Each structure stands twice: as C-alpha cells, then as structure tokens.
Amino acid sequence: MNLTLKIWRQSGPTAPGAIHTYQVGDVSEDMSFLEMLDHLNEDLNEKGEEPVAFDSDCREGICGSCDLMIDGQAHGPEVTTSCQLHMRSFKDGDSITVEPWRADPFPVIKDLIVDRSAFDRIIQSGGYISANTGSAPEANSVPAPRDKAMRAFNVATCIGCGACVAACPNGSASLFLGAKITHLGELPQGQPERWSRVTAMVAQHDAEGFGGCTNIGECTAACPKEIPLDVISQLNKDFRTAVKNGH
Amino acid sequence: MAGSTFHEGLTPLNSAPTQTSDDAHDYYTKGDKIVDAVAPTGPIADRWTTRRFENRLVNPANRRKLTVIIVGTGLAGGAAAATLGEAGYNVKSFCYQDSPRRAHSIAAQGGINAAKNYKEDGDSTFRLFYDTVKGGDYRARESNVYRLAEVSTNIIDQCVAQGVPFARDYGGLLDNRSFGGVQVSRTFYARGQTGQQLLIGAYQAMERQVAAGTVTQYTRHEMLELVVVDGKARGIIARDLVTGEIETHLADVVVLASGGYGNVFFLSTNAMGSNVTAAWRAHRKGAYMANPCYTQIHPTCIPVSGEHQSKLTLMSESLRNDGRIWVPKNRDDCDKDPRDIPEEDRDYYLERIYPSFGNLVPRDIASRQAKNVCDEGRGVGPLVGDFRRGVYLDFTDAIARYGKAGVEEKYDNLFDMYERITGENPYEVPMRIYPAVHYVMGGLWVDYHLQSNLPGLFVTGEANFSDHGANRLGASALMQGLADGYFVLPNTIRDFLADGPFPAIDESHPEVVAAQTSVKERVDRFLSIGGTRSADSFHRELGNIMWEYCGMERTEPGLRKAIDMIRELKQAFWSDLKVLGTGDTLNQSLERAGRVADFIELGELMCIDALNRRESCGGHFRGESQTEDGEALRHDEEFAYVAAWEWGGDSLEGGQPVLHKEDLIYTAIEMKQRSYK
Ligand SMILES: Cc1cc2nc3c(=O)[nH]c(=O)nc-3n(C[C@H](O)[C@H](O)[C@H](O)COP(=O)(O)OP(=O)(O)OC[C@H]3O[C@@H](n4cnc5c(N)ncnc54)[C@H](O)[C@@H]3O)c2cc1C
Ligand code: SF4
Ligand code: FES
C-alpha cells in the first residue's frame, strides 16, 4: 500500500517542533508499524534527510519502549503496543498522523522520543518489596492464595509504557501507579510496607507533575496490557487507609 | 592432568584433547594454553562453599570507598547492582535503554529452572547439573555448572520474597512444569512472561538502592570503550545518547553484563538494540572471546514473512509440552489446509525419530530436524526462496484434552501474539514455526570467579561463555543471569576488591585520554565517510552471510567463503557508510553504525572459530562431522576444549586472532555421546 505520513519532527528538547508530511510506498500488511517507519527511514536516509527518531527495542510488546501517538490514539487503533500494531490495520491511501506522547512529565527529547524517567523515580519512591539478597525464606514457606496471586499477576503485566498517561486528559499516571500498588499489595510479601508504599508513591507521582484522576477511563482503554480500572479504586482505597492511619 | 591446577587431587574421567585437524590454520595463530581457571579443588559438591569461605571479605566501612561499574541492567546486571548496592559498594549502572526495566531479559517467556524437587519426581542439584552439562554437549566447565545448579533454589526464594508472581496451584504453593530437553518438572514460570516478572523484581530491587544512594543509574548511555590502566580494567568511556557527550567513568572494577550478540545475524529473537559492542571493545583491549561460534537456534519462532522484517518473534518453548509438531508426509500436501490432511498422512517426525523425548527433545535437535524436513521439501507456509520454511505446531489434541479455556489459561498471550503477527487464529489452524537465532553460548572468557583474563574486568550473564557449553537448555539463561547477579558475583568480586581501593587515576591519565580520543575519532569517522548505504543495510547483508554459512549447518568451504565475504563487506562498510546528522544530539543512525562495525569483526571471528572446530556440537552442526544416520558427531579427543581467542589485529591489515585453549576435564561426570532416541 501507499500511505501519507504526517510525523512530528523536533530536533531537540528546546527546538520548536512541527508536523512534516512524507509519502511512503510499498508497505506490506505483514509489516509492523515500526517496520513501516524503518522502511520510511531507509528512504529518508537515501534522500539525505535525517531519519525519524523513535524508541523501540524488543519489538514484541513486552519492553514498553515504543510509544507512538497514532492518529491521536496511544499505540494506535488496536489495543496493543506500537510494535505489535501491524499494517493490516490500515488500508491503501490512508493518511496517518504520528506524534510523541504528550504530557508535561514526559518532555520530548527528539522527534517521537520522550523522557519517561519519571516512572523510574516513582518506583524508587517505594515501588518494591524490601528483601535483601540472601535473606529470603524458603519460597513455599509463605503460601499466596491463588486468586490473589492471579490478580497480582494480571496487574504485574504493566510494561511501563506510559500510554495511560498519554491518553489521559489530565496526564495522570494513576493506572500505572495503581497497577504497582495492587501487584505488591495483593501478595503476602508486600504487606509490611503496604501503607508507607502508597503514600510515598502518590507523593512522588504528584511531585513529578502527573495530574489527578477524574475517572475518565481513557487510560484503561489505551492500555496495551488491559490493566483494569479497578486498580485505581484499590490505589485510592489504600491511600485513604494509609492517610487515616497516619502513614 | 599435567599443567592444570584446578583438578588437583581428583581423578580425571577423560584425557586432555589433542587436535589433529587444523582447518583454520591459515586464519589464526597459536597461543599458550590456559591452565588455571581458579576453580577450587575437592569434591564438586563442596567447591562453592569452600570458595565462598576462602574468598576474602571487605569491611563494610570500606565498601563505600569502592566503585563498581556495571554495564547492563538485565537479570545479570540488575541483580548485581541491587546486591552490591545493598552490600554498600558505590555502584554505577549503565544501560542504553531509557529505563533499566527494559533490558532484553524482559522478553524471556518460558521460565526459569531450579532444582527444588517440589514434585518429588527425582530432581536434585546433581541432576540439574548433569542435565545441563549433557544438554550443553560437554562443552561447559563442570565447576561452574555445579555451582549454578546449587544456587538455583535460592533464586526462587529470592524472587518470591521480592513479589515475583510465579504461577501457583490452588493451595497457594508454587507450580512448575517441564521444559525442552529434561524429564523432570523444574521450571518455574509466570505465564508466558517469566523474564518480565523476574526483571521487574531485579529492577525494583535496584531502584530501591538508587533511592538509598548506593546505585547511580545512567540510562541512555552506551559504553563505547573499556579503560585499561597498567593492565587492569579501570573504567569505561560511554556516550550519553541524548546529548552526544563522550563521558569517562572510572572505578575500581568493571562488570560487563551486556547480554548476547545474536543480533550479528540481523534477524534474531533478540531486542533491536542488543549488541556486542561492550564485549567487543573489551576484546580489542585484550579480553579473550570464547567459543564465539556457539549459537543457539530456537526451534519455535514465527517464520519469516518477508524482506521488510526487522526481527523474529519467539513462541515460548513451553508450547512444546502440549503442541505436537508435524509436517505432511507427502510434498503435494504442503500447500493444503492442514485441517484437511488426515492423521495417516501426517509425519509427527520428532515423536517418530525420538520416541522417548518426542516433541521435548533439546532445541538443537528440534531445530535441525525442522530444517531437514523443510529442506526435503515438506515444509509448510509461504514459499521463501525455493522452500517452504515452516512446520506445524498443532494444539488440536491439547484443546480436546483441556478445552479451549484450559489452553488459554496456560498460554494466554502467546496465542494472541501469534494471531496479531500472522493474522491466523491458532485455536483454529495449527501454528507454523521455524527455527531462529536466539541466544549465544559464546562470550567473553571468564574464570571461576567470573573474571576475564584482564584483571578487574568481570563478565556475567549471557555476555560470558561459561555455563552452557555448546547448547543451552531452555529456562537456564534466566537462572544463570540471576545466579551470577545475586549470588556468584557478589561473593567473588569481594575477593578482588579486598585489595582495593586501587591507586586513584584521573581523566588526565594518558591511557584514559587515549581511550577518550579513540572514541571521539571513531564517532567522527562514522559521520564523515559520506557514502551511500545505511548501517542497517550492511547489517542485513552481514546477517544473510552469517545465517547462510555460519548458521545451523556449517561446512569448510562455506565458512571460507563467508570469511572472504565478510572481509569485503568490512571494506565496503568503511568506505560507503552513510550516517546523517551530528554527534552532539540523539542520533540513532550513529548508534547503529558503531554496533554494526563491531558485529562485522565479530562475524569474521565466529566463522574462524566454526572453521577450526571440525566437529558437530550443540547448535553447531559441521556437515563434515555426522553419524551414519545424520546425527551430530562430537570429537571429544580433539575438541573437548574452550576456544578462547585473543585479538590479534585487524585482518585487513594482516592481523590474525590468537587461539588459547582451555582443556575441559571432567571429574564428576562422564562424557557420553548424547542420545535422545
Ligand atoms: C524471546 C526470548 C525468550 C527467552 N526466553 C527464555 C526463557 O524462557 N528462559 C530462559 O532461561 N532464557 C530465555 N531467554 C534468554 C534470556 O532471556 C537471556 O539470555 C538473558 O535474559 C540475558 O540476560 P543478561 O542480563 O545477560 O542480558 P540482557 O538482559 O540482554 O541485558 C543486557 C543489558 O546490557 C545493556 N547494554 C548492552 N550493551 C551495552 C552498551 N554497549 N552500553 C551500555 N549498556 C549496554 C542493555 O542496555 C541491557 O541493560 C530468552 C531470550 C529471548 C530473546
Ligand atoms: S498501565 Fe498500561 S498503559 Fe499504563 S504504563 Fe502500564 S501498560 Fe502502559
Ligand atoms: S518495542 Fe518493546 S514493547 Fe514495543
């Protein structure tokens, strides 16, 4: 197929950005969206124009590197990552707009690449279970009820891509935060730090400039791992309890 | 065993090899034997305990005065950073991604082995050790592998304590399953995302140390040179990938945990950024590269669909527990709808040839047989070149047994992923799979302490060579990465650090300045060639050469041809490369150029190593060395050694690598021809 691509180009963090239009031909429906961009980049390189910068690594939907706003939707029209979106979701002659994630705590570095280090800092504030190496008890000495373990697993699948933030009109990272709080809070190992964890992580979330959650639900609709909205209820509930008990 | 210090007092079960063939004689020169890998002596089960005790301690107050650089934040590097940080060392951690959590370990699907014997099915430390050495075709070092099996159980304890959500049964206890190549259930898993969950555990533990101030993380930083002062590794030169700045970081010790180099084949299951640069730069500074030709080809990948493809996607090997592998008996049936091919016209070739292991034979065997049936013209799927390159992985029986819901629960996202990529529904039509490059068993040479031959340079995880021999069994790379990072390195590096802090050096030291300058010059050179071709196009070409001549099957004439082709490619690269943009911003073309330049040199060494090793072994099948019925044939009396190559200069300027051999002498396990029949 032949496509028209409207891509955000920005040479550096402080440079002004603008949409540039490119034509790309010979696109097969088996290509992933990123392979289609590789193909465009080969063309650009040949023409002496600098290729479009975008993030990706695993290209199989698990590392969370890729982050494209495609036609105004985080990761594009399917519920998946940009690298797992295939061109069979588009048709010949389509015009597609590609932009970076937009949120104040995710400043643009170049073209389609943004800085998501705020997520690491949220984890640093308490998104872990303190377990020094070598101090762990025998793994089966603490059974974890299967339903709780299942829920923990289901939300531990968050890949930290940030689509939830990009999709949210308030730029809130509540889904990301809720997923981690729920993952660790469902497991027996996560109980000792449960309350201090949630207050610390919420404080860091706010300090990074992420917005508050007003229950719009765009986050869960955009999430490639289908993290459910109820992790935000869990987050709020744990936060309330923690505050009430003075954590 | 004459000359070897690490088996003293023990009775060797094999004699030292003597190589009689010398296929690669015009490509290399001979160096001294490696006689000491610092392994402890005594009965194998006591060696690690003894050594842990013998290794010197570092007083807690002194630890913060010692700086450790760790390149890589995968399971090996992330776990090491967390553990050394906890211990109180001053750790600097580097990765090229924007967050340590994205390291390639995240992609591992199937699971991690541990000799827990929770199923009471006969597992033990010794059995895991035995299976691993045998599965590696007796080309791994026994002391290292035993230690790996020994600490495997601690890994599961550690990860569970961190909140890794492993699969559990109804009573809330851990579940496990069996994996390719073994007959006990010892693989722990978190659905099809084990690597992700383990890595998140290590990453969170590491971030905790970042908050505590013991670990400083440098993301979007690429190591481009090793700093060696007075023969010791003392730091790295890294490029800040955002600002382009070339930075110097000095330390008391350097750890490379930079992953594997399977991307030398261009198409592989590795992440796009996986590279050999960190290891290769160290190699050029004197570190030996061991067994570089040992590549693992994974049998269950989604077949190639066309020229545009940037990577191959793995379908977890755990699928072989329930899926049955077959091709049509008759070539004429190959383009039919598989559901229309009756049972009697299907060839379940693994079950037929290897009745006791069936679909669970080790990867090298499953891969080679898939290639064989496709080469016979019985492959399925679209024509790629002259052949159909695919075999069926059929879940019809499993669906009948557990229902669709049962299969869904076991393999969830794998089936969806397959459908997204191929556009076919695997619940209705059997999946198609084909082998792809997946993992490398070769890597920098290390001793029992995981130290390379360059003092102060330690190497862990996939970046080193030591534990898997010529073939890696499933679910054992994750085990190795975490064993190295959480338990082995912290106990060996302290013995080295007990002599520190080492004399301070600063950025004006001539060797540091020289390293800085060489990196800057190299960056400028890439930017100024001004040719016509992208780095990617050279990479693709290199990959084709490697797959064709140094892939699943290798022959003497093929390898010779490949070496010539790679040398030509190298010349073309340095004269016709085109990298646009500048060095002082984020420039992905520039990043790739550096990686491809190193891959080209590595590719050449891989071919020389493969040419020298005139035996079939693990993932390496030499056409000249097979049994009458076409199975791989090892030659222990010639090749039971580790090939450790020393950099001998650029081949375009007449340089030749130098081969150092480390004999593999077993005292606890007898070498046998592998048979899965
Ligand atoms: C698809 C897939 C599935 C797999 N499934 C399994 C499985 O089920 N079980 C199993 O046991 N194994 C599996 N493996 C193998 C296993 O995942 C890897 O061998 C292992 O994760 C490697 O870990 P590592 O820590 O050594 O390196 P990696 O996780 O590859 O990490 C490398 C790190 O080094 C950094 N780095 C590299 N070069 C540089 C540089 N020059 N400068 C700075 N940083 C650098 C990277 O940023 C990264 O942080 C699988 C592999 C693949 C590809
Ligand atoms: S919650 Fe979903 S959208 Fe948000 S970071 Fe995690 S995976 Fe991405
Ligand atoms: S590139 Fe890893 S999730 Fe898309």
Residue B24, domain member (yes or no): no
Confidence class of residue B1 from pLDDT cuts 50, 70 and 90? very low
The 10s digit of each residue's pLDDT in B339-350 is 999 999 999 999
Write phi, then psi, for A119 (nearest 5 degrees). Answer: -65, -40
> Taking a contact as any Cβ pair under 8 Å apart, which residues of chain B between 66 and 95 contact chain A?
79, 82-83, 86
Q: What is the mean pLDDT of residues B354-363?
A: 88
Residues B515 and B606 placed together within one structural domain of the fold: yes
What CATH number corresponds to the domain at position B536?
A: 1.20.58.100
Pick A117's closest partner by Cβ from B163, B219, B272. B219
CA distance B661 to B33: 5
Residue B371, domain member (yes or no): yes
Which CATH code fits A116-133+141-244? Answer: 1.10.1060.10
Pick A138's closest partner by Cβ from B157, B588, B589. B157
Residue B293, domain member (yes or no): no
Q: Which of B266, B309, B270, B621 is nearest to B438 (CA)?
A: B270
Interface test with A, best of B208, B216, B424, B577 (most A CBs within 10 A): B208
pLDDT of residue B676 exceeding 80, the answer is: no
Minimal CA separation from B506 to chain A, in Å: 30
**Chain B residues in contact with A51 (beta carbon < 8 A):** 580, 588-589
The 10s digit of each residue's pLDDT in B485-539 is 999 999 999 999 999 999 999 999 999 999 999 999 999 999 999 999 999 999 9
Instruction: Quote the ipTM score.
Output: 0.98
- CB of A200 sitting under 6 A from ligand 2: no
Q: Interior CA angle at B96 toward B90 and B101, to 5°?
A: 75
Homologous superfamily in CATH for domain A3-110 = Beta-grasp domain (3.10.20.30)
Residues B251 and B351 placed together within one structural domain of the fold: no
The region that residue B117 occupies, defined by phi over 0 for left and psi between -120 and 50 for alpha, beta otherwise, is left
Nearest ligand, measured from the Cα of B482:
1
pLDDT of residue B192 exceeding 90, the answer is: no
Residues B144 and B202 placed together within one structural domain of the fold: yes
| pLDDT value for B8 | 63
Tokens standing for B234? Answer: 């003392």
Q: What DSSP letter does each residue of B569-609 carry, written as one string?
A: HHHHHHHHB---S-SSS--HHHHHHHHHHHHHHHHHHHHHH
Q: What is the DSSP letter of B667?
A: S
Domain count, chain B: 3
Q: Is the peptide bond before B501 cis (omega within 30 degrees of 0)?
A: yes
DSSP-derived pairing of the beta strands B253-256 and B457-459? parallel
The region that residue B229 occupies, defined by phi over 0 for left and psi between -120 and 50 for alpha, beta otherwise, is beta
SS3 A163: helix
Confidence class of residue B5 from pLDDT cuts 50, 70 and 90? very low
Confidence class of residue B316 from pLDDT cuts 50, 70 and 90? confident
Average per-residue pLDDT for chain A: 97
Write phi, then psi, for B330 (nearest 5 degrees). Answer: -110, 135
Residue B22, domain member (yes or no): no
Atom of ligand 1 nearest to the CA of B269: 53
Residues B409 and B323 placed together within one structural domain of the fold: yes
Residue B267, domain member (yes or no): no
Q: What is the mean pLDDT of residues B20-44?
A: 95
Q: Position B105: which residue type?
A: S
Residues B458 and B411 placed together within one structural domain of the fold: no
Q: What is the mean pLDDT of residues B303-307?
A: 83
Active site residues of B: 363
Which residue blocks in chain A are alpha helix, DSSP H? Answer: 33-47, 117-124, 146-156, 163-167, 174-186, 194-207, 218-222, 230-244
pLDDT of residue A64 exceeding 90, the answer is: yes
> Taking a contact as any Cβ pair under 8 Å apart, which residues of chain B between 36 and 55 contact chain A?
none
- Percentage of chain B with pLDDT > 70? 98
Interface test with A, best of B52, B73, B83, B102 (most A CBs within 10 A): B102
B675, B627 Cβ separation under 8 angstroms: no
Cβ < 6 A, ligand 1 pocket? B 71-77, 94-97, 103-105, 107-112, 194-195, 221-223, 257-260, 269-270, 274-275, 277-278, 314, 438-439, 461-463, 475-478, 481
B460, B484 Cβ separation under 8 angstroms: yes
**B526 touching chain A per CB within 8 A:** no
Write phi, then psi, for B246 (nearest 5 degrees). Answer: -95, 110
CA distance B166 to B101: 18
Question: Quick one: closest CA in A to B202, which residue?
Answer: A128
- The label of the residue with tokens 């396990």 reads B669
The 10s digit of each residue's pLDDT in B64-89 is 999 999 999 999 999 999 999 999 99
Domain ranges for chain A, please list them.
3-110, 116-133+141-244
- Percentage of chain B with pLDDT > 90? 84
Q: Interior CA angle at B147 toward B146 and B148, to 5°?
A: 90
The 10s digit of each residue's pLDDT in A132-191 is 999 999 999 999 999 999 999 999 999 999 999 999 999 999 999 999 999 999 999 999
Q: What is the mean pLDDT of residues A124-128?
A: 98
- The label of the residue with tokens 């598989």 reads B338
The 10s digit of each residue's pLDDT in B216-261 is 999 999 999 999 999 999 999 999 999 999 999 999 999 999 999 9
**B581 touching chain A per CB within 8 A:** yes
Residues B217 and B337 placed together within one structural domain of the fold: no
Q: Do B157 and A189 touch (CB under 8 A)?
A: no
Residues B169 and B45 placed together within one structural domain of the fold: yes
Residues B431 and B458 placed together within one structural domain of the fold: no
Write phi, then psi, for B394 (nearest 5 degrees). Answer: -105, 125
Which residue blocks in A22-130 are alpha helix, DSSP H? Answer: 33-47, 117-124
Residue B426, domain member (yes or no): yes
| pLDDT value for B180 | 61
Instruction: Count other C-beta atoms under 10 Å from residue A104's C-beta.
Output: 12
User: What pTM was estimated for this model as a whole?
Assistant: 0.96
Residues B490 and B540 placed together within one structural domain of the fold: no
| pLDDT value for B7 | 59
Cβ < 6 A, ligand 3 pocket? A 56-59, 61-66, 81-83
Residues B254 and B136 placed together within one structural domain of the fold: yes
* Residue B328: partners with Cβ closer than 8 Å, 6 or more residues away: B334, B336, B341, B345, B346, B347, B378, B380
pLDDT of residue B390 exceeding 60, the answer is: yes
pLDDT of residue A93 exceeding 80, the answer is: yes
Residues B540 and B608 placed together within one structural domain of the fold: yes
Write phi, then psi, for B165 (nearest 5 degrees). Answer: -80, 75
Based on the number of CB atoms within 10 Å of its own CB, is B567 exposed (0-12), middle (13-18) or buried (19 or more)? middle
Write phi, then psi, for A207 (nearest 5 degrees). Answer: -65, -30
- CB of A180 sitting under 6 A from ligand 2: no
Q: Do A131 and B158 touch (CB under 8 A)?
A: yes
pLDDT of residue B416 exceeding 90, the answer is: no
Q: Whose CA is nearest to atom 20 of ligand 1?
A: B105
| Range in B29-43, B47-61, B409-423 the model is least confident about | B409-423
Minimal CA separation from B314 to chain A, in Å: 9
pLDDT of residue B184 exceeding 80, the answer is: yes
Confidence class of residue B9 from pLDDT cuts 50, 70 and 90? low
What CATH number corresponds to the domain at position B324?
A: 3.90.700.10
Q: Give chain A's length.
A: 247
Confidence class of residue B2 from pLDDT cuts 50, 70 and 90? very low
CA distance B156 to B176: 11
Which residues does residue B437 pair with via DSSP β-bridges, in sequence order? B297
A58, A83 Cβ separation under 8 angstroms: yes
Residues B453 and B587 placed together within one structural domain of the fold: no
Confidence class of residue A194 from pLDDT cuts 50, 70 and 90? very high
Cα–Cα distances in angstroms (integers) from residue B474 to residues A1, B108, B117, B388, B437, in the given order = 40, 10, 17, 26, 14
Minimal CA separation from B605 to chain A, in Å: 26
pLDDT of residue B674 exceeding 80, the answer is: no
Owning domain of residue B185: 39-259+273-284+446-497
**B156 touching chain A per CB within 8 A:** yes
| pLDDT value for B536 | 96
On the CB side of B73, how many CA atoms lie within 13 Å of its CA? Answer: 34
Q: Whose CA is nearest to atom 6 of ligand 1?
A: B108
CA distance B289 to B659: 10
Confidence class of residue B305 from pLDDT cuts 50, 70 and 90? confident
**B432 touching chain A per CB within 8 A:** no
- The label of the residue with tokens 């869990």 reads A234
Write phi, then psi, for A132 (nearest 5 degrees). Answer: -65, 145
